[in-house]
Amino acid sequence: MKRNKRILVLLIIIISLFLLCSCKNKFECEIIYNAESTRVEDFKLSDIKLHIKNKKVDTIVDVTKDMLSAEDIEKLKTAGNHTITINFKSYSKTIDISLIGQSGDGVYFDMPYYALANGYKGQELKLALRSIISVQTKTEKYDDLRTDLAKTDKGSTEGTIICFYCQKEMDAKWDGGKTWNREHVWPQSLGWFSTTMAGADLHHLRPCHQSENSSRNNTLYGVSLGYYEPKDSVKGDVARILFYLYVRYQEADRYPLNTVCESFDMLLIWNDLDPVDSLEKQRNEVAYSIQGNRNPFIDYPDYADYIWGSLS
């Protein structure tokens, strides 16, 4: 009996020691990878870092091949949007990586801002533009837009603002949304964002008359019965804003093209039928001065055709 008790006590001690050691060896991990899009030939696995931390260790190490499956390693040798899984001991994390390939027969645009996108078309052009416009000098807050939109969408007279869908000028003073709202052109309820990042992007949000905003609600854009059809004078604006969002935000890759509009071909038509006007050019420059990135489809509307249309 005493012998059994001694064995039991010994087992309890061993289990306690094991649990104690396990606790001491517990660690936290975080993936560090900042590049939105990288060329295939420039990408190195060591560009992805692993931040390992526990009570005794706080270090950053390169991700190595043994942390990936053979299938994921092969993925990283080709252009495209890739989802890979990084495994380190008991830690496992899935991340998305966009890689741009070589083409050379695509579009060329002489504006220095877009130099890295020259020579590409189709998906590769989309990823090259994403790499460029994802670099922002400032990330705006939703509250900032109450004053920012009065600058980007300034009316013809001082202290006025041009509302998006109705194109009317009204007092730019913010009154809590009673007169005009900060309109998400891609309805918030149909997207991946709240009121940060895409939900507070100056190239995305436009001032909108309160009653028009309520009437539009979250109805998909289109020309058929049951869709919301904006005025002809802003159809191109809508298309170019949606194009921007599809390119700027990797999350949009997971949303079908009919999530927000009747068809993507319709947006390409709107882009042609309603050319870029002076207000779009003005707000692109002002947004660039505040936020630090541009809407490429305002600077060069044909980019849409090179990515999604006949020129792709």
pLDDT band at 12 (very low <50, low <70, confident <90, very high): low
- How many residues comprise the chain? 312
96, part of any domain:
yes
**Which domain range does residue 62 map to?**
28-100
As given in the structure block, the two tokens for residue 25 are 């060896």
Q: Is the dihedral of CA 174, 177, 181, 186 positive or negative?
A: positive
CA distance 41 to 101: 8
Together in a domain, 66 and 117: no
The label of the residue with tokens 């070589």 reads 102
* Mean pLDDT in residue range 71-95: 86
CA distance 178 to 186: 21
10, part of any domain:
no
CA distance 97 to 275: 34
The percentage of residues in the chain with a pLDDT greater than 90, rounded to a whole number, is 59
> What is the DSSP secondary structure assignment for residue 220, as one 8-state letter?
P
pLDDT band at 252 (very low <50, low <70, confident <90, very high): very high
Q: How many structural domains are present in the chain?
A: 2
Q: What is the pTM of this model?
A: 0.70
Together in a domain, 198 and 53: no
Together in a domain, 120 and 156: yes
261, part of any domain:
yes
Residue 5 has a pLDDT of 63
The domain boundary residue, chosen from 68, 100, 132: 100
The label of the residue with tokens 């380190």 reads 88
- The pLDDT tens digits of the residues spanning 104-149 come to 567 878 788 998 898 899 999 999 999 999 999 998 899 999 999 9
CA distance 190 to 257: 12
CA distance 302 to 114: 13
- The pLDDT tens digits of the residues spanning 45-78 come to 888 998 888 777 788 889 999 999 999 988 888 7
Q: Where are the beta strands (DSSP E) in 155-239?
A: 160-162, 169-171, 180-184, 205-209
